[in-house]
Amino acid sequence: MTSSKNEFQGTVLWSALEGIIAELEASGEIAVNTAPAYVITYMCRELVAMKVVTDAAMLPRRPGAGEP
C-alpha cells in the first residue's frame, strides 16, 4: 500500500479517527505502538476501500468544528 499520509490528513474522516484513537488511548482501552499517522492513514484507506465513507467525510475539516 503506497499512500501518502497527507492523502487523508486534514479531512473530517482523519479528524474523527484521530479523536477516537486519542480517546481510547487516554482511557487505556487501546495502546498504539506504531506511528499514529500510519494507523489513521491505514484506517482511512480501508474504510474508503470498503465504501463506508461518505463524501462529506472527505471534505476538509473546519478548524474548531467538532474538536474532540
**pTM for this predicted structure:** 0.82
Distance CA(47)–CA(26), nearest Å, equals 24
pLDDT surpassing 80 at residue 64: no
- For the segment 6-20, the average pLDDT, to the nearest whole number, is 94
Distance CA(68)–CA(61), nearest Å, equals 12
- The predicted-structure confidence for 22-63, as pLDDT tens digits, reads as follows 999 999 999 999 999 999 999 999 999 999 999 999 999 987
Cβ-contact 39, 46 below 8 angstroms: no
For residue 16, give every residue at least 6 positions away whose Cβ sits within 8 Å of its Cβ, in sequence order, or none.
57
Distance CA(24)–CA(68), nearest Å, equals 12
**Residue listed under C-alpha cell 474522516:** 13
